[in-house]
């Protein structure tokens, strides 16, 4: 009985998932996730008959960069939170972290672009007025992204998010 218990315990802890994946895996995953997010934006623009916008290259670069920069943080956070959990828990963690991380990073990049544009009219950064202006600019940019930019993740982004989250959860075995 004791030997069987020990064998079951050892079987569950035989191969723990490393906290840090290889740089090649992170780089490849980052590139693929960024391309999937850019593809989601293109398909969404196409379905809305807005593909002929003058800002198509900038939009694609924004969604590509948002996905690429979010991926390493998301993978690390998912491994920290749920690497030894059951598949359902890993899937839920990956889904939530991948969605929020990608949206947050893309919104941050959008806000940085917004800040660069409006910086010419702002006071110096380290003054009370400058800090207030930066906060207002970032808040406005994130709000504008939430209203206009989140729609570009639909309809392609949700099934892709679910599939990649499931793959990521299974890869953490």
Which single residue is written with the structure tokens 């290889």?
A: 22
pLDDT of residue 2: 52
Residue 74 CA neighbour count, 13 Å, CB half: 33
Average pLDDT over the chain, rounded to an integer? 91
Token pair listed for 41: 């934006």
Round the CA-based radius of gyration of the chain to a whole number and report it. 20
Query: pLDDT band at residue 14, thresholds of 50, 70 and 90?
Result: very low
pLDDT of residue 142: 97
Token pair listed for 121: 């009219």
Average pLDDT over residues 149-158: 96
Dump pLDDT digits (tens) for 87-132. 999 999 999 999 999 999 999 999 999 999 999 999 998 999 999 9
Dump pLDDT digits (tens) for 22-79. 999 999 999 999 999 999 999 999 999 999 999 999 999 999 999 999 999 999 999 9
Q: Which of 82, 83, 67, 77 is nearest to 28 (CA)?
A: 67
Q: Assess contact for 45 and 74: CB atoms under 8 A.
A: no
Helices (H), the chain: 2-12, 23-47, 56-82, 87-118, 128-144, 157-171
């Amino acid at each position: 009985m004791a030997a069987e218990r020990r064998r079951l315990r050892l079987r569950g802890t035989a191969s723990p998932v490393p906290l840090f994946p290889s740089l090649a895996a992170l780089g490849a995953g980052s590139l693929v996730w960024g391309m999937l997010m850019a593809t989601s934006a293109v398909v969404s623009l196409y379905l809305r008959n807005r593909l002929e916008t003058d800002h198509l290259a900038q939009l694609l670069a924004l969604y590509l960069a948002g996905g690429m920069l979010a991926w390493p943080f998301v993978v690390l956070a998912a491994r920290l939170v749920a690497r030894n959990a059951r598949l359902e828990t890993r899937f839920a963690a990956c889904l939530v972290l991948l969605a929020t991380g990608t949206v947050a990073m893309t919104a941050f990049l959008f806000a940085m672009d917004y800040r660069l544009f409006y910086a010419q009219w702002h006071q110096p950064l380290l003054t009370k007025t400058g800090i207030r202006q930066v906060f207002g600019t970032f808040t406005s940019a994130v709000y504008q992204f939430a209203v206009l930019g989140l729609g570009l993740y639909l309809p392609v982004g949700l099934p892709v998010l679910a599939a990649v989250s499931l793959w990521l959860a299974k890869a953490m075995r």
